[in-house]
Structure 1
Amino acid sequence: MSFRVANYFQGIGLKKGDAVGLAMTTRPEHAAIWLGLGRIGVVSVLINTNLRNDALEKCVSVVECKAFIIGSELRQAFGEIWNDGNGKQLLPSDIYELDRFMEDPKWVPETVKTQIGSFTTIDFAQCLLKTSKGATVVTPDQEPTFLDPIMYIFTSGTTGVPKAVRCSHGRLFFLASTASVINFSSKDVSYNAAPMYHTGGLLAVVWAFCFRAPAVLVVKFSATNFWKDVHRYKVTVSMYVGEFCRFIHNQPENPELEKGHTLRAMFGGGGLRPEVWTAFQKRFNVKQFVDLYGSTEGNCTLINLEAKIGACGYIPVWLQPVHPIQLVKTDPVTGEVLRDHKTGFAIRCENGEPGELIGKIIDSVPMARFDGYTDPVATEQRILRNAFAQGDKYFRTGDCFTRDKYGYYYFQDRIGDTFRWNSENVATTLVEAVISRITGLRNNTVYGVKVPGTEGSACMAAILDSSDGELDLEALANGMKMSLPKYAMPMFIRVISIHKGLDMTGTYKFQKFRLREDGFNIMNIKDPVYIYSSVTESYSKMDLEKLSEVMKGNYRF
């Protein structure tokens, strides 16, 4: 299929450096498409399938795409952003729609000519069936190199505006090489429930390509079906992200499924909580856990090979002073890197001190490069210059870590205005802008709060109610559901009276530090707090019973 994709787009004139948007839920065709486009040097722009309306519109406008390939399940979402409401077309005219693709000669796809207003799609399966599946011929000047981008992967970043991260052919080779730490081979079967628009969703795919090992691709993760899938497909290695392991462990015990399985290793990233790690291994008897830290755009990669509970990386103590990866102190309020008053250079963290992880940028070394984003301003914001010497430059991960005296690194959370929830980065400025637009209230602020028994931080909003008691939470919830992905929805809303006002700094910035400390504990704050339920998809007032459920880790967000 990848040869058909390459031959088709080469035939209509696309060339090296052009971009094509790709938006579809997890399926094998997704991988075949970006692989095929990559054969001719065309860059695939992987779209987060959770995005809708405003967020999706911003995402597709960041990179200029010659065409879009979408899954049938996203037809409606793209139809809603076809134009800006004033008749201005936001998407290219070539929108290819794919339900599925099979090379079975008896299978004939239905011709799709669905029109939503002025939005019409082209049946991509029909296009491919009419295209040669022979090996694609690429001229030397069009041949992609190790450093050329093969895809753009979106990250929420720290400004709230979607940023397209360049992912090179070489970086995908690096992702494939990580399999060596668990002695992965063609005899293994990997399991992937992470979305394929994200780096975590590409691991199983690139391992399959490079090791000829089957990959089980799950459209939507189900903790209930996990062990059934492991037995059915004889899974040996499972990828995990975020709270994947906790969800599985929280399922009722089923000795018949939990025993006698083939699963030998769990491979994932982000700093698995120690209590989850220990309980998971003990209950399910999974021999090996490999926790890895890395980012799509960054040059900082850490890996825990010794199965140190809770750690996601290790740097020997003797190597730390000269290692390209460093941990530096930052201002807890602004997130800025702190500098020594005498030297002007960044201050390294001591053992046990939280700080931001940074990596030295070496342009001549592929895995130490920072290729940046399509936005040069956003790229510059992620570079720390003159960190330890005049002229040096380091990549700022935006992630807070601590290190113990042995050299193990432990992920804490995102720094500043961006935090992680459900394995995704939540940009507070984006959520604040949506709330302001829906409610008409300019004064609101969004921040992350810790919730017992969960990874990362939950989104919480403090809103200044200028109507003094007439804030329409139902309208707010409906509006946010239309404009925000699920992981960015505020789980808590604190309504602050206009007579009290929001705390501000001397430079007229909202004081998130105090609000973050207050959290959602109604025992300590007098303002009304509302909590979101994923079951009812609405907000209700927090009371002592709900607070108790949240603190025990039993509340369903």
Structure 2
Amino acid sequence: MYVIFTLLAGLAILPFLVYVRFPYFLHDLRYILNGIALGKRVGKYSSRKPCYTILDRFLERVNLHPHKSFIIFENDTYSYQDADRRSNKVARTLSQHCKLQEGDAVALFLGNDPVYVWIWLGLAKLGCVPALINHNIRAKSLLHCFSCCGAKVLIAAAELKDAVVEVLPALREQKVSVFLLSKECDTEGIEAITEKIEKASDEPIPPALKSNLTIKSPAVYIYTSGTTGLPKAAVVNHERMWLASFMQTLAGVRADDIIYVYLPLYHTAGFLMGLTGAIDQGITVVLRRKFSASQFWNDCRKHNVTVIQYIGEIMRYLCNTPKKDNDRTHKVRLAIGNGIRVDTWSEFLQRFGNIHICECYGATEGNTGFVNYVGKVGATGRVLSLQKRFQPFALIKYDTERGEPVRDSRGLCVEVPTGEAGLLVAKITKRAPFIGYANNNQQTEKKRLRDVLEKGDLYFNSGDLLRMDEEGFIYFQDRIGDTFRWKGENVATTEVTDVLVILDFIEEANVYGVKVPGHEGRIGMASLKITEGMEFNSTATYDHLKAYLPSYARPRFIRIQSSIVVTGTYKQMKVKLAEEGFDPSVIDEVMYILEEGKGYIPMTKDIYTAISEGSMRL
């Protein structure tokens, strides 16, 4: 009897002992099983002739629940069947007027709108490859993006006509067909197409038009944000489209969820993780033209949103809105995204309630990624030994001054110890390929790194610095270009930013390195947006930075701006600011320079001259 009692007692406390020893066991097990199931799905889809695509998944959803709400936009609701029929009209119109064939690229220059979805679906039914161009770019950048994808057709929104007209001579020279989503257009070289779409038949499109598709065929071109130069067109094939769409499954999205998509559809997060992920799940999408912090929670309440997305500074913008009694009155249970700071993470949960934040890491063109399915505050993912075996990666030492990885006497890269930040590189294999950028072999080659851990191996260079702790959680530290080196020390701009925004009179900070004549490396500079109704306190700023940062990491220059410029995906723009530097003749905004022992004093032309001539050393 004693033996039986002991055995039962042992079994009773076994779960507790497992939890103590392996606190994330159930989370890990669920993630592994999901990963295996999703891997089998991709294998099954790739074996079909033609391959099974997101479009096929959409058509299944149409047959399964034709009248279920698919897109909710402003005051209109469109069912899955509505979307199918409208996209049939688009496909027939484009096929007739553009003579499009399977594999042709078509550039989309549109803002968030249901028509965006109809056009994408219509092109998919023709086997064409849409190039999703950022609707905020103009002139040289617009032409560059158009040339990248090799498209001979451009479809633009009516409100973007002026931007198209600006580059129309170059487009006509390239014999590009330009269509405007409008009922009329009197500009020669641009054809209005809305009326033609409305009059077209909505009968199903023959599937034979896309009969040659494979899992490796291009599905869409998505452009990098261009924070460090002109955007590049990342080639996203059908396999990668599936993998990105699976993010909702890994995060725990259910068939009865409603997702709020306000991020731009030209971006990976909005299009793949949001829209196509929703199609995979068969759920409803609440689509908005653009993010609005003041209307965010009202939209969530109005449409019973249960899943939200975020990227970059979005969560902090929400935390900065005036507090209301109904901040926790909503049905949102899950947030998926990347780029949330630790302090914002905690503040967001405390203010808006028990929302599971699923932070993830990945690049549109990258061949690896991480998911923080546990919800550990601050981490961008969790690494399991199984994942590293199937998708090998390493964190290697990086010399920010020379702009290249550190190599040993054998010419191989050096892995950083646990807890130390290193450059993330992922091995390029058949299972984890790196496709690169459309019509840009030079930029594609720049992302390839050879002889990393063994002679002859090949890795993808992420350009990001990450660190991993002893539990296997991985943390984003900085972009390579966002890390500057001063006085022989590497400084992460995110670390300086986190310290600056603690001050209540600093609403937002953008930290970067600037070159100084006669000095090696780059010195720190911060562009600040001051909280409304408050003023910049130079003394308090100096005392605060002195208490929290070593001397080499303290911004030597401060620039006060009315707003911090961000990209369409809410990433801070640093390149232009770094190029402008701290020259008062170039910058007409208020600037300060740090004078050790005194604090921040106004920057003047005389001080700039002294620095430039070398009579004043920094």
Alignment partner of 1:458 is 2:506: no
Alignment partner of 1:114 is 2:186: yes
User: Which of residues 394, 405, 408 is equivalent to 2:473?
Assistant: 408
Change (3 A) 1:158 1:252: closer
Alpha-carbon distance in structure 2 between the residues aligned to 1:155 and 1:217: 22
Within 5 A, what are the aligned runs for 1:45-194? 45-83=131-169, 89=172, 92-98=175-181, 111-115=183-187, 118=188, 120-139=189-208, 142-156=211-225, 160-194=229-263
Alpha-carbon distance in structure 2 between the residues aligned to 1:412 and 1:185: 32
**Which residue pairs with 2:437 in the alignment?**
373
Q: Which amino acid aligns with 1:515?
A: I
**Which residue pairs with 1:552 in the alignment?**
none
Native 8 Å contact 1:245 1:280 kept in 2: yes
SS at match of 2:560: strand
SS at match of 1:311: coil
Instruction: State the 1:381 CA deviation.
Output: 0.9
Higher deviation after alignment, 72-81 or 290-299: 72-81
User: Which of residues 406, 414, 418 is equivalent to 1:347?
Assistant: 414
Instruction: State the 1:204 CA deviation.
Output: 2.0
Instruction: State the 1:399 CA deviation.
Output: 0.9
Within 5 A, what are the aligned runs for 1:350-429? 350-363=417-430, 365=431, 368-374=432-438, 375-416=440-481
Instruction: State the 1:459 CA deviation.
Output: 6.9
SS at match of 1:80: helix
Within 5 A, what are the aligned runs for 1:24-35? 24-35=110-121
Within 5 A, what are the aligned runs for 1:292-371? 292-316=360-384, 324-341=392-409, 343-363=410-430, 365=431, 368-371=432-435
User: Which of residues 183, 187, 211 is equivalent to 2:281?
Assistant: 211
Instruction: State the 1:544 CA deviation.
Output: 9.1
Instruction: State the 1:526 CA deviation.
Output: 12
Q: Which amino acid aligns with 2:523?
A: L
Alpha-carbon distance in structure 2 between the residues aligned to 1:354 and 1:51: 34
Q: Which amino acid aligns with 1:391?
A: G
Native 8 Å contact 1:223 1:247 kept in 2: yes
Higher deviation after alignment, 286-295 or 519-528: 519-528
Native 8 Å contact 1:292 1:313 kept in 2: yes
Kindly, what percent of the aligned residue pairs are identical? 31
Change (3 A) 1:173 1:346: same
Number of residue pairs the alignment of both structures matches: 453
Alpha-carbon distance in structure 2 between the residues aligned to 1:455 and 1:149: 42
Higher deviation after alignment, 525-534 or 145-154: 525-534
**Which residue pairs with 2:560 in the alignment?**
531
Q: Which amino acid aligns with 2:298?
A: K
Alpha-carbon distance in structure 1 between the residues aligned to 2:103 and 2:509: 38
SS at match of 2:154: strand
Alpha-carbon distance in structure 1 between the residues aligned to 2:389 and 2:352: 39
User: Which of residues 314, 318, 328 is equivalent to 1:244?
Assistant: 314
Instruction: State the 1:17 CA deviation.
Output: 2.2
Change (3 A) 1:77 1:91: farther
User: Which of residues 19, 22, 32 is equivalent to 2:108?
Assistant: 22
Alpha-carbon distance in structure 1 between the residues aligned to 2:509 and 2:421: 16
Alignment partner of 1:220 is 2:290: yes
Of Structure 1 and Structure 2, the greater helix share is in 2
SS at match of 1:401: strand
Deviations 1:342-372 (Å, cap 9, x if unpaired)?
x322111112211111111112x2xx11111
**Which residue pairs with 1:280 in the alignment?**
348
Instruction: State the 1:529 CA deviation.
Output: 6.0
Native 8 Å contact 1:16 1:41 kept in 2: yes
RMSD between aligned alpha carbons?
Answer: 3.4
Change (3 A) 1:247 1:543: same
Change (3 A) 1:302 1:253: same
Change (3 A) 1:309 1:448: closer
SS at match of 1:14: coil
SS at match of 2:329: coil
Alpha-carbon distance in structure 1 between the residues aligned to 2:382 and 2:324: 35
Change (3 A) 1:207 1:359: same
Deviations 1:482-528 (Å, cap 9, x if unpaired)?
xxxxxxxxxxxxxxxxxxx7236xxxxxx5x3323798999799998
Higher deviation after alignment, 74-83 or 294-303: 74-83
**Which residue pairs with 1:10 in the alignment?**
95
Higher deviation after alignment, 182-191 or 158-167: 158-167
**Which residue pairs with 1:502 in the alignment?**
517
Deviations 1:6-33 (Å, cap 9, x if unpaired)?
3333334211221111011111221221
Deviations 1:66-109 (Å, cap 9, x if unpaired)?
1101111211111112235xxx845644211115xxxxxxxxxx
Native 8 Å contact 2:255 2:283 kept in 1: yes
Alpha-carbon distance in structure 2 between the residues aligned to 1:95 and 1:318: 49
Alpha-carbon distance in structure 2 between the residues aligned to 1:196 and 1:359: 27
Instruction: State the 1:228 CA deviation.
Output: 0.5
Q: Which amino acid aligns with 1:503?
A: G
**Which residue pairs with 1:424 in the alignment?**
none
TM-score for the superposition, normalised by structure 1: 0.74
SS at match of 2:122: helix
Native 8 Å contact 2:308 2:334 kept in 1: yes
Instruction: State the 1:195 CA deviation.
Output: 0.8
**Which residue pairs with 2:328 in the alignment?**
259
Native 8 Å contact 1:243 1:455 kept in 2: no
Structure 1: 5+ residue stretches without partners: 100-110, 420-446, 464-500, 505-510, 549-557
Q: Which amino acid aligns with 1:98?
A: L
Change (3 A) 1:395 1:543: closer
User: Which of residues 308, 313, 337 is equivalent to 1:268?
Assistant: 337
Structure of larger gyration radius: 2
Q: Which amino acid aligns with 1:228?
A: N
Q: Which amino acid aligns with 1:82?
A: L
Alpha-carbon distance in structure 1 between the residues aligned to 2:483 and 2:223: 15
Native 8 Å contact 2:514 2:525 kept in 1: no
Change (3 A) 1:54 1:456: farther
**Which residue pairs with 1:231 in the alignment?**
301
Alpha-carbon distance in structure 2 between the residues aligned to 1:152 and 1:7: 22
Structure 2: 5+ residue stretches without partners: 1-85, 485-491, 529-537, 543-550, 567-586, 601-618
TM-score for the superposition, normalised by structure 2: 0.67
SS at match of 1:245: helix
Alpha-carbon distance in structure 1 between the residues aligned to 2:307 and 2:526: 41
SS at match of 1:172: helix
Alpha-carbon distance in structure 2 between the residues aligned to 1:218 and 1:232: 13
Alpha-carbon distance in structure 1 between the residues aligned to 2:237 and 2:564: 40
Change (3 A) 1:32 1:539: farther
Native 8 Å contact 1:40 1:144 kept in 2: no
Alpha-carbon distance in structure 1 between the residues aligned to 2:259 and 2:121: 19
User: Which of residues 506, 516, 524 is equivalent to 2:524?
Assistant: 516
Instruction: State the 1:335 CA deviation.
Output: 2.8
